[in-house]
A and B are shown apart, each in its own frame.
Chain A
Amino acid sequence: MDLSITSLAQIIIACLMVIGLMVANAVVMVYFERKTAGFIQRRPGPYEVGPRGTIQAICDSMKLLGKQLFIPGNVDWLLYFLAPVLAFFPVLLLFLPIPFGKFLTAMSVDEGILLILAFSGLGVISNILAGWSSNNKYGLLGAARAVSQSIAYEIPMIMSLLAVIFLSGSLNLSQIVEEQGSWPWQWNICVQPLAFFIYLVSLVGETNRAPFDLPEAESELTAGFHTEYSGMGFALFFLSEYANMLLVSFVCVTFFLGGWKGPFLDGFWWTFIKAYLIMMFIVWLRWTFPRVRFDQLLNINWKWLLPLSILNLWITAIVVKLL
Chain B
Amino acid sequence: MTEATEHIDQKLFEILETVSDPEIPVLSIMEMGVVRSAKIINGIVEVQITPTYSGCPAMDVIGDDIKLAFKQKGYEAKIELILSPAWTTDWITPKGRAALEKYGIASPLSESADKEALLGNKKVVKCPQCGSFNTKLVSQFGSTACKAFFQCEDCLEPFDYFKCLK
Partners in one complex: no
Q: What is the interface of chain A, defined by CB distance below 8 A to chain B?
A: none
Q: What is the interface of chain B, defined by CB distance below 8 A to chain A?
A: none
